[in-house]
Amino acid sequence: QTKRAKRVAELCERLPELTAKQREWAKIKLFSRNIYAYGGRAWCSECGCEWASEPQVFDVEGECPKCGTTLTRIKSRKTVVKEESYYFTKLDVIKEFQVVRHYMTSRSARIGAPSQYRFTEVVQIWIDEDGNSVIRSRPRQAFTHYYDKWIESKPMGIRYRPSYGPDPYKIGAPIAPGAKIAARVRRNGYTSRCTVDDLATLIVSLLKYRYVEILLKRRQYDLLRLFLWRGEKAYDKYAHAIRIAYKNRYAIRDASVWCDYIDLLEHFGYDTHNAHYVCPKSLCNEHNRLSDRKAECERRE
């Protein structure tokens, strides 16, 4: 219905398919490969072959005599591995859009047959240079206990985020190799070192808000994860203290505790522009001391 959505509909045919390397990476990264052994028999979850196995130590790595795959030996009677599914993310660049593509891959295995893998693209988030996004996804099955029960047989279409309840389009998943990053996203400081619950939200915020770029380039990843949730106004409250921490090369490893510590400093009238207070040697001890002091004051009141 919008010009941006029509543009996405024109460009979606240009998206590349998964490569063989990415498929193999997903199989190794997402799924556990096991040898199920019990009572002198063992079978491989990858090729399904069965062989006679003498009693051995379990929970150690072994090798399948047929396919040569390295697997973990587990004591189990099971002959069927029920279907299990996981997400992974693929990044592509199409014209002016950074495309975040979420795939769902499923595997089922049974004795005497090789594992069956299925790869289905379920969500695409198209992000332009200004941070505006368009969502394409498969429809979801209603009236179930799962908010992301995708109907894989239906085609993808333009969708909108739900006004209430869990957001099925916020997916945290490992990124497949061969990721392509838009020049503007890379210029603003994107790095794969920063892991967040939703990559699309990070990229949108990185293109829209200056503070996200600042925190990324200063490598304050824990603060970034916190303020992606709290918002820009919450960042402005601590911006002066964050600048002091950066100038003194102080790494903030527990953002929520550090922000609470700054609030306690302000509560007792300490100078939050002083590096001596803003960058304590032992954050946990100083935070506990001020917390106990505040609790004692409240008790007396």
pLDDT, residue 55, reads 65
pLDDT, residue 196, reads 87
Tell me the Cα Rg of the chain: 25
Q: Which of 77, 78, 75 is nearest to 62 (CA)?
A: 75
DSSP symbols for 158-224: EE---SSS--TT----PBPSS----HHHHHTT--TTS--S-HHHHHHHHHH-HHHHHHHHTT-HHHH
Integer Cα distance of 114 and 238 in angstroms: 55
pLDDT in tens, the chain (301 residues): 789 999 999 999 999 999 999 999 999 999 988 888 888 888 888 888 888 876 666 777 888 888 888 888 888 888 888 889 999 999 999 999 999 999 999 999 988 888 999 999 999 999 999 999 999 999 998 888 888 889 999 999 999 988 888 889 999 999 999 999 999 999 999 988 888 888 999 999 999 999 999 999 988 999 999 999 888 899 999 999 999 999 999 989 899 999 999 999 999 999 999 999 999 999 999 999 999 999 999 999 9
Q: What is the model's pTM? A: 0.87
Q: Which amino acid is at 75?
A: K
pLDDT, residue 145, reads 83
Q: Which amino acid is at 294?
A: K
pLDDT, residue 202, reads 93
